[in-house]
Structure 1
Amino acid sequence: MPNEFYQLSANNPQGRPIDMSTYQGKVVLVVNTATQCGLTPQFEGLEKLYMDYKDKGLVVLGFPCNQFGGQEPLSNDTMEETCKINHGVTFPLFEKIAVNGEHTHPVFKYLKSKLGGLFGRRIKWNFTKFLVDKNGRPVKRFSPVTKPADIEPYIKRLL
């Protein structure tokens, strides 16, 4: 039976669905992002991880969210452009989603069901990170304040 993660999909900023099965066989780092958050400098660290390990099988997936202090007020297109121009982001970004509550996106519903955090199944803030292995199994959840560089040893082990 195929892994549940690979049965999910999410829309890119232009509204086109992308199946998570696209990333089958890769280590995936899923992050809820925001362009106007105090943790926004993490974009650079996430991009560095992506650039350093993408040829070895890592993909970083950014999911913008406006549920925390209204820190992602930009439209999907503007957000994508801002991430590229201001932060050098080349890893895949998706359209703005909800990570908590009634309208939680299925990707985050699934990840939270497998890896609870300090606040149970809720996402605490922007830049919560989930590491998924090459078989689509969520293996580790990282807090918003965990720097991307601190995730590198976990990524290396999974690659």
Structure 2
Amino acid sequence: MASRWSSSFSGVGTPCSRPSSAISIDTADNYGPSTKGGVVRTGDSAWHITGRPEQLRAMCEASLRLLRLDTIDLYQLHRLDPGVPMADQLGTLDALRTEGEIRHLGLDTVTAEQLEAALELTDIASVQNRYNLLDRASEPLLSRLDSLG
């Protein structure tokens, strides 16, 4: 089943697919169309984290065009770029929110410490981390997320 998601992470213009049996929480019930930015696939087929403000803005604007939307309900920063100050990355996305291009901002693949630092800078609506029987690295983050609701 094709979803309402599209992102640079999946390849420009390629809809993400999601088998319904693998999804336990569907944020589309809470948010409309969502997408991610912050990583790109280059000619060498490798994924590269990119949190430079001009690139984040360009990715968001490209997603708006590809999805034929005026506003993306939930825009998730796929990875924080360690080479770019967090304030610059989140500041760019916060500006896009102020401009009305995104409605809610989320983070993907963050630590509890990164979440705390991000919350000092802006509102965060969602966190998407890997968590399963074999990978419990996000365990410290769960109680903090629970306290935030």
| TM-score, with length taken from structure 2 | 0.35
Q: Which has the higher strand share?
A: 2
Work out which of the two has the higher radius of gyration on C-alpha atoms and give 1 or 2: 2
Name which structure has the greater RCO, CA cutoff 8 Å, separation 6+.
1
- TM-score, normalisation: structure 1: 0.33
